[in-house]
Amino acid sequence: MTRCFAIFIGLFLVGCKSTFDQNNTLTIKPQVEQFTSIYQARVDFDAFLKLYADSAQLEDLVYGHHAQGKSEIASFYNWSGGNFKVVDDLKTFELINLLVDEQQRHAVITGRFNEFIYHGQNLGPWRFVMTLQFNEKGLITHQQDWINYTPK
């Protein structure tokens, strides 16, 4: 029993350490992948919001919308509103490319939102570019969305 416990603790510590590189510097790729998978599944809004710093900013550059802080970001996304449903039960979006700059703690995600129904209206598919900036704790501090809303 003690040996199993020791193995479990060892694996746990390795798992915790895996978000740091050999210089003990935080790596953001796991956070970017977590952001992507939670957003694609679109079921755990609390987990999604935990990825943001309290003072994070979100900009929708096409429509000019700006959200400051977690509460405004939560209002902007509002996953519980609008009777949202992705057509054909696909993921919210398909990932096309993911670039991560560990030194700058910056990520660029490109993809395509799948067709979905929102407030009874069919929308999408829309291509997008999303940039994420992370702080030293691995939380998102700034997000820019470039979404090709067609038709607007």
Query: Do the Cβ atoms of 34 and 52 come closer than 8 Å?
Result: no
Query: Do the Cβ atoms of 48 and 38 come closer than 8 Å?
Result: yes
Q: Which spans in 19-114 are helix H?
A: 29-41, 45-49, 70-77
For the chain, first and last CA: distance in Å?
61
Using a cut of 0.95, tell me whether the model's pTM lies above it. Answer: no
* CA pair distance 96, 137, nearest whole angstrom: 27
The amino acid present at 114, given as its one-letter code, is N
CATH class of domain segment(s) 28-148: alpha beta
Q: Would you list the domain boundaries of the chain?
A: 28-148
* CA pair distance 86, 28, nearest whole angstrom: 28
Query: Do the Cβ atoms of 130 and 146 come closer than 8 Å?
Result: yes
pLDDT in tens, the chain (152 residues): 444 434 333 434 334 433 555 555 678 999 999 999 999 999 999 999 999 999 999 999 999 999 999 999 999 999 998 889 999 989 999 999 999 999 999 999 999 999 999 999 999 999 999 999 999 999 999 999 999 998 66
